[in-house]
Amino acid sequence: MSAPRADKTIADFSLPATGKQPWSLKAQRGHNVVVYFYPRDNTPGCTREGEAFRDMHRAFAAANTTIVGVSPDSLASHEKFKEKMRFPFELLSDEDRRVCKLFDVIKPKTLYGRKFMGVERSTFLIDAQGRLRQEWRKVRVDGHAAEVLQAAKSLS
């Protein structure tokens, strides 16, 4: 499976989501969508990234853009993380990493000398017709949400 390329239509996918509803890309047609992949709930970088998207949520909504976060964590973990951080957007659980693989975000990583395959922090901006418009890989959290917001505004 190859990663999506800019201006290519993204294959529909659905995942269990917080809020007790399944989430599907197809159901978002008519809205731009930010799909941000992050390694793990309740870790410092992932928390800061979610907070940045939370704090800019109204500006994204004004740009007709929906935000969703995706990680391999369980739905129960996501529910607690979302409530604790007061995220106004849904978190999607990709425990089998199927969607992570679709977007090619599973990469070799090293932590304390231990090598493993994990989620590389990445963000994808999909337009209202379901086409990938921009992607960010190996994301650094500081300033990232603002950069994604500017790109989303350019689609309006």
Positions marked catalytic: 46
Report whether 89 contacts 57 (CB < 8 A). yes
The CA-atom distances, in angstroms, between 132 and each of 7, 26, 80, 119, 128 are 5, 13, 30, 19, 10
The CA-atom distances, in angstroms, between 119 and each of 55, 84, 95, 97, 148 are 23, 22, 12, 9, 19
